[in-house]
Structure 1
């Protein structure tokens, strides 16, 4: 086998690795301490906030519903504030759409869906109809007297649709699809979103105004919600399929959407968890590839611009951030009990809580307090777990690595793979007979696991193998699920073969369950490569301190 050359572009592999070691040495030794919704410190803040909300309410329907939702999520579905919100929903439902704002409409839907054990099914349906009536022709929601869609308001329309869908209400697929397409069409070229969306009339993007982490969180959460309702966040992989039985992405042509999956399909096991998730909406006509690209670009923007201080409407932002991150966890198939953004939010709320247990920023003291409590409770994560089952959150969801080879069937993404036994595959690597298509997800490995000995062999191939062997080894190491293999893949980022670098990048994304990774583009330059190595090294040190030296 040929050995790897010693240089790559303007930087030698030795220099790039030296950079990684310096970054690892300088990196902080992980978070000082962790926090979670069940911890005593968090529960104390939650209890103080709820005690305050027992004495304060809000005059707006949306505010009443938000406060009631906080009590429901805290396990108090029969609280007086829930009764108050139910009475307000019955009283306000007759208002004309120019008197019922989208925030209140969406929050009423969310609340009634969560309180369906006590609520009125007909009432929920009435608010759903009003939401449809308020939707703009382009698909977004906004102020009654404006033509533009409003990213801030659209997020409550999105969550309202999702909650109603999970409550087994029949949802109009066109309404959800137009919302998703509006979000794609109003994405800024940088990957974020603005406040009042300027719609692009082509496949290109137009500059947006009022961009912020708050709007990015609102839009990303809404787009992930739409994708989840259409079932396109959960690819089904199979060994062979009749091409006439599935339809191309974006619904341009193909077979019947309602056809049963062919018997040859063998879906991945999601862990056997009981699921009460509603069946996906019809996805015919859905621009799936563009949605995937928007999610990728949005995740990259948030990765590069994340901050816990929104500068204005901070608690409102925290509620949007928790929603976005909860659906992102669903997409990535992860269940991190101590995410850094949650710790950041807790610290912020701890520092801003008032003596009476309230928070006050811009939305009104009762509403700001409800936002804080819902963030601390991980309210969206609770809703997701209630619908898909406790164990299904880590069921291997994610975006197909090659959208061009994916198809839609019954609202699910299916991607064809060739089945190869693991032992045979390793032998192929040794003989330089790696099957084509492995690096982009085109091969399904069966009958075997990557044990420690095999992983060591693959790590060796990353250093001494031929380009094709290094390419395959990088892809396979990413499927081990072993974070201790991250340094080997960081080493592979220094490879002179750009295909190996991209395979290692994708493998690190898979291993870390980060959709956007650290932003290394397909056409990366040496500076971007160097930045990615530094970022991945810092990440590796944060999850497994002391492992960076393994890349030597």
Structure 2
């Protein structure tokens, strides 16, 4: 969207500091944050972990992992039913929002359940008017800052594949438009006597939130009818799941509700609010002495510029100005004092310098060098060069036809097949195609469950679960004892899909998730076997309760369920 600008304030016209100076400032700031060996049970853990990630530190670093351990220990607990739930701390929605940001940045697959439960918490705490606040101070009209972090968290949840209903975004849009001041700015606590004046920090917070809300309600300017972010094929994990089980159990006789309803706030109304907010931010641009937290303001500036996809806000080179201001105000110990919590101020400064939102959105303001990438010099080429094609100057695998018979033929002869491509195409074909075609090929799929290749067996069990034929359940149950642990997990996920029981009757998706890393291999095998034995019993009990009548009195099965009868 083009910004309508009325210039009343001259740019500070800082020259951008050399990259080496910026990198050094970030490094000193990170060192300051790490001086504190452990942030304990506090909300700052999520903020620090997110900052380190955006500054380039590996998600596997011991420091980030310790922060994550503290976050999960403090906020992710099981209820009496053994279900994971989010437990808020003193930072309430602030911490929940940043926790979603950091878990999505590390691994949406690994932390999917934690992301889902935290998302449910944020949705449940949205006020009827559409904003967010602290629970002890309700009823109220919301808080622009808290609402900003709730929205940042929900945006991260959507990127992780957790759907946030349109009604949540619609209510948030209505709240922001109704609390926006006539000049386009925002206040801290709209409608109150003490905190109703325009602030630089709140203006960037409210305007940035409206940009995100607009993206979620009207992606690419069009009415939303499904997930905003197209689900990518998950990276290969320890067990290489073909597809994450993402079902929701229905109440008896209740149909699933459509989360993508038509919003009450129009696209034009949101565009108008964004334009008013952006104009105020540009006309009142002030990196030296903004009202509110200086570094909080800079992070808001970075976010608006990234969301608007612009290198300048009006005449202002926002990054050059902000970077020079931060290099000038950084203290000798690497911190930034700002206002209030020095660690939070330091995080905000590093997030700005690291262009955190620019990275999240994948913005690239400079062209990639010619010849860059993994394919340079032949690296990353497919094994079979006859199976590649050129498209737009790039080398790609030839797309398989999507014919189910052809795909099964590929799996039947895995020595010559590109299993990754075959699996990806098969999943897409079955998910989007005619399920009747799969049912017709069921006998061929059944033969594949005894294939030598674990990858082929996994694919076969995935497909069997999508036939919606409950008679396939015994095959999946037997696969819970497959020699390959990845096949066992795929069978478990398949049973979840077939039965519509997302939590797998209480059985974990990863039986070794809580096992100590240094546990001997023999002990790890015992854990897996214990899990498989218990899972087999519980799934068999479920199948016995729903299996077809003609199978009810299978004498062989009865004897196997009650082995003690053989000795009587």
Q: TM-score, normalised by structure 2?
A: 0.51
> Match of 2:15?
33
1:228 to 209, 215, 219: 215
1:73–1:377 CA contact under 8 A, matched in 2:
yes
> Match of 1:350?
327
Partner Cα separation in structure 2 for residue 80 and residue 362 of structure 1: 29
Moved more, 304-313 or 40-49: 304-313
> Match of 2:165?
172
1:44 pairs with 2:24: yes
Partner Cα separation in structure 2 for residue 316 and residue 31 of structure 1: 21
1:61–1:85 CA contact under 8 A, matched in 2:
no
Partner Cα separation in structure 1 for residue 332 and residue 102 of structure 2: 28
Partner Cα separation in structure 2 for residue 105 and residue 282 of structure 1: 25
1:229–1:281 CA contact under 8 A, matched in 2:
no
1:377 to 354, 358, 362: 354
- Secondary structure at the aligned position of 1:343 is classed as helix
Distance 1:306 1:281, change over 3 A: farther
Query: How big is the shift at 1:33?
Result: 2.6
> Match of 2:282?
303
> Match of 1:361?
338
> Match of 1:128?
119
1:86 pairs with 2:62: no
1:66 pairs with 2:44: no
> Match of 1:182?
175
> Match of 2:293?
313
Q: Deviations over 1:337-363 (max 9, x none)?
A: 996122221122112111111112234
2:264 to 276, 285, 291: 285
Once the two structures are superposed, the pairs formed by residues 139-158 of structure 1 within 5 Å of their partners are 139-144=130-135, 145-146=137-138, 147-158=140-151
- Secondary structure at the aligned position of 2:35 is classed as coil
1:109–1:124 CA contact under 8 A, matched in 2:
yes
- Secondary structure at the aligned position of 1:370 is classed as helix
Distance 1:275 1:171, change over 3 A: closer
Query: How big is the shift at 1:215?
Result: 0.3
Distance 1:323 1:58, change over 3 A: farther
Partner Cα separation in structure 2 for residue 365 and residue 137 of structure 1: 34
Distance 1:88 1:71, change over 3 A: same
- Secondary structure at the aligned position of 1:294 is classed as helix
Query: How big is the shift at 1:62?
Result: 2.9
Query: How big is the shift at 1:366?
Result: 1.8
Partner Cα separation in structure 1 for residue 49 and residue 189 of structure 2: 29
Distance 1:61 1:109, change over 3 A: farther
Distance 1:172 1:391, change over 3 A: farther
> Match of 2:190?
197
Distance 1:215 1:258, change over 3 A: closer
Query: How big is the shift at 1:321?
Result: 1.9
> Match of 1:18?
none
Once the two structures are superposed, the pairs formed by residues 522-537 of structure 1 within 5 Å of their partners are none
- Secondary structure at the aligned position of 2:132 is classed as coil
Q: Higher relative contact order at CA 8 Å, sep ≥6: structure 1 or structure 2?
A: 1
- Secondary structure at the aligned position of 2:359 is classed as helix
Distance 1:276 1:305, change over 3 A: farther
Query: How big is the shift at 1:113?
Result: 1.0
2:97 to 68, 93, 106: 106
> Match of 1:241?
none
Query: How big is the shift at 1:141?
Result: 0.6
Partner Cα separation in structure 2 for residue 293 and residue 190 of structure 1: 12
Distance 1:134 1:100, change over 3 A: farther
1:216 to 180, 197, 203: 203
Query: How big is the shift at 1:210?
Result: 2.9
1:310–1:317 CA contact under 8 A, matched in 2:
yes
Which blocks of at least 5 consecutive residues in structure 1 are unaligned? 1-22, 200-205, 237-248, 250-256, 260-273, 393-552
Q: Which has the larger radius of gyration?
A: 2
Partner Cα separation in structure 2 for residue 350 and residue 47 of structure 1: 12
- Secondary structure at the aligned position of 1:124 is classed as helix
- Secondary structure at the aligned position of 2:43 is classed as helix
- Over the aligned positions, Cα root-mean-square deviation in angstroms equals 3.6
Partner Cα separation in structure 1 for residue 194 and residue 276 of structure 2: 15
> Match of 2:302?
322
Partner Cα separation in structure 2 for residue 300 and residue 119 of structure 1: 41
- Secondary structure at the aligned position of 2:123 is classed as helix
Distance 1:85 1:118, change over 3 A: farther
2:204–2:304 CA contact under 8 A, matched in 1:
yes
Query: How big is the shift at 1:102?
Result: 1.1
Partner Cα separation in structure 2 for residue 288 and residue 391 of structure 1: 32
Q: Deviations over 1:155-208 (max 9, x none)?
A: 101111111111111212211111111101101111111111239xxxxxx998
Q: TM-score, normalised by structure 1?
A: 0.52
1:276–1:389 CA contact under 8 A, matched in 2:
no
